[in-house]
Amino acid sequence: MATSDFASRPSATPTVQVENERFIVTEWRFAPGAQTGWHRHAHDYVVVPMTTGTLLLETVDGEATANLVAGSAYARHAGVEHNVIYPGDDEFVFVEIEAKG
């Protein structure tokens, strides 16, 4: 899917599970073709995939893919602007943990 498909994609569903003075923990559920929408993280964060699949990442520098494996976490720094899209055929789920400091 290209950036021009932005308006026609369904939205991924975020559910905040924990929010306190130190962390924000959000479960993200993606139906096939769903996206997060363009956003920029204000905090460093860790993503823990609950399912295995490939995500499409739109960034200001272009598109990239990320192959995620259930239970295999990764970390990113705050500040990168991006849109996360799930082009697969089944639901995709990950948990995002943002560290407020």
Question: For the chain, which domains are there?
Answer: 3-99 (2.60.120.10)
Would you state the pLDDT for residue 4?
A: 47
Along the 101 residues of the chain, how does pLDDT read in single tens digits? 444 466 789 999 999 999 999 999 999 999 999 999 999 999 999 999 999 999 999 999 999 999 999 999 999 999 989 999 999 999 999 999 999 98
pTM of the model: 0.90
Spell out where 1-101 has E strands: 13-19, 23-30, 39-40, 44-49, 53-59, 62-68, 74-76, 81-85, 92-99
Q: Which of 12, 9, 40 is nearest to 26 (CA)?
A: 12
Would you state the pLDDT for residue 6?
A: 63
Rounded distance between C-alpha atoms, residue 96 and residue 5, angstroms:
25
